[in-house]
Amino acid sequence: MMESYFKSCIDACLKCIEVCNHCAASCLKEDDVQMMVRCIQLDLECAIMCNTAVQLMSLGSERAGEVCGICADVCRACASECSKHDNEHCRLCADACAYCAEQCNMMAIA
């Protein structure tokens, strides 16, 4: 069944969307929002890429693996940026993005 093949990656992407959105919203409430601009941008890009990957995986698209590879790259970039900031929401986001990158990378090379 196609859904079970993608399940762990879809779950990781859905969690990543949730955490990235929360991180972006939380960054907007930081005292120095200007310092968080790159983080917010990558949070939003990551959430969009994860959503796209979920949509294609759930359709069983032949392009799902290719998009998962791009998604993994975006997740890694977001994790890297979030890890530079010393707050709980960025730490949680870095962890979720790193895990999602691993899951997406497995789909990309499968």
pLDDT digits (tens, 9 = 90+) for 71-102: 999 999 999 999 999 999 999 999 999 999 99
Q: Which two tokens stand for residue 61?
A: 């698209």
Tally of structural domains, the chain: 1
Domain that holds residue 75: 2-109
**In the numeric block, which tokens belong to residue 76?**
């890694």
- Determine the Cα–Cα distance for residues 106 and 24; give it in Å rounded to an integer: 26
pTM higher than the cut 0.75: yes
Structure tokens at 105: 């990378």
Q: Of all residues in the chain, what percent are helix, strand and coil, respectively (each to 5)?
A: 85, 0, 15
pLDDT for the residue numbered 15: 98
CATH assignment of the domain containing 69: 1.20.1270.360
Contact, 22 vs 39, CB < 8 A? no
